[in-house]
Every structure is written in structure tokens, then in C-alpha cells.
Amino acid sequence: MRKTDSHFNKWRKYQTRLQREARRSRYLRKLTYLIFIPISALVVLAAVAWASFWISDRWSQRVPAPPVVEKKHVSLPPTFSRNEIPDLLNDINYDVALLSDVFECEKNGKPYTIRTTIDTKLQRYIQRMLKRSRTLQSAVVVLGSTDGRVLAMVDRDTNGRRTNLNLKADYPAASLFKIVSAEPRTTTADCSVLEIFNIS
């Protein structure tokens, strides 16, 4: 009987020890949660407090008022009548090789900058084409189709005259009259767009 009692006592001690260890492990698990949760709550509270102080500091900083800028009286450029423009442009060299999109001129001691609609690349291209054509006298004016701006104004005079042929009204614009003459033929006659016919 003693053997069984000692065996039973050993088993009971063993069970008691297991229950104690289980309680201790549960307690340690709960203790880690009890330590971890307050520490994480403190960290979150510290972060929220820091963020609120930072935001309130940013919001409380006064935005400096923009500096007061004195309004300068901007004078509009002078307007010139059609009769005054030739006097203004007298000093400008009308050589098409020098014709550009910006001119500097002076009137009554005041300097003026004149900006034109001349396309300088197109201007140079047409100059090269006229030099290759070997004509004695030729003039080309290119207008913008949508707004009528002068995009290029080139002339070539092999006689050595220094006047711009585009600014003289000695010769009629022949190509324009070809279109005017051809219009009745195309509208009244039964002809195709691809049909070729001569207009004299």
C-alpha cells in the first residue's frame, strides 16, 4: 500500500507542479500583455501629443503679409497714325536681307522697338529660292491665311536698285487676276477640277 500511496503522492505533486507552471505561464502571458498594451498606448499618446503640438505650432505661426508692391504707372506705347509710320521707318534699311521680326528706330529722340510678324526662317528660304531662280526682278509676299499677317516680304532686283519692289505699286499682282479670270470658267462651264485649260 505504501507503494501506491507514494506513487499517488508523486502523481499529485506532479499535477500540482504542472498546474502551478500552467498558472505561471498564463500569468506571464497576461503580464506581457499588461506591459505591452500600456507601453504601446503611451507611445501612441506621445505620438498624438507631438503631432498636435507640431500642427498647432505650424498653424499658430503667423504667415508674413506679402510685401506691399507699389503700383508703377505703366504708360501705354504711343500710337502712330498711318501717315506717321513712314516717317518713323525712314531710318530703317529696307534691304530684305536685313528684314527681321524686330526693328529699332528713333523718333523725336525716343527709341522705339517695332515687332513685326515676319517669319525669319521663311524669309531666308524665299531669299534662297529667288537667288536660284535667276530672275531680273521678282517680289514675294506671303500672308497668313487665317489672319492676313505678313509672314515674309522678299524681293530681288538685279539692276542694283535699293528700293523694295514689294513697297512699289508699279506692277499688278498677276496671279491674283488669273484666279479672278478662271472663276467664271469653272462655275459656268461643265468642267472638272483636274481639267487643264489656258487663260490668256
151 falls within a domain: yes
User: Which residues, including other chains, have CB under 8 Å from residue 123's CB and lie 6 or more apart?
Assistant: 96, 99, 100, 152, 153, 154
Answer whether residue 133 shows pLDDT above 80.
yes
pTM for the full model? 0.43
pLDDT at residue 199, as a whole number: 55
pLDDT value, residue 96: 47
Mean pLDDT of the chain: 76
Determine contact, residues 123/96, Cβ cutoff 8 Å. Answer: yes
Residues 177 and 101 in one domain: yes
Residue 155 has a pLDDT of 83
162 has pLDDT over 80:
no
Q: Is residue 167 located within the same domain as residue 114?
A: yes
Full domain range(s) for residue 32 = 10-57
Average pLDDT estimate for 55-60:
74
Helix ranges restricted to H, 93-173: 120-133
Does 88 lie in the same domain as 43? no
Do 52 and 139 belong to one domain? no
- The answer to the question of residue 3 being in a domain is no
- Is 116 a domain residue? yes
Residues 109 and 175 in one domain: yes
Name, in order, each residue with C-beta under 8 angstroms of 180's C-beta and a sequence gap of 6 or more. none
pLDDT score, position 106: 75
The pLDDT score that the predictor gives to residue 93 is 56
pLDDT of residue 148: 82
For residues 51-62, give the mean pLDDT: 76
Rounded Cα gap, residues 42 and 121, in angstroms: 73
Tell me, what's the pLDDT at 3? 54
* pLDDT value at residue 114: 76
| Number of residues in the chain | 200
Per-residue confidence band for 90, with pLDDT thresholds at 50, 70 and 90 = low
Looking at the fold, whether 36 and 112 belong to one and the same domain comes out as no
The SS3 of residue 192 is: coil
User: What whole-number distance in Å separates Cα of residue 172 and Cα of residue 24?
Assistant: 116
For residues 103 and 53, membership in a common domain is answered with no
Residue 1 has a pLDDT of: 45
The reply to whether 95 and 146 lie within a common domain is yes
How many structural domains comprise the chain? 2
Query: Which one, of 136, 135, 138, 139, lies nearest residue 150 by Cα?
Result: 139
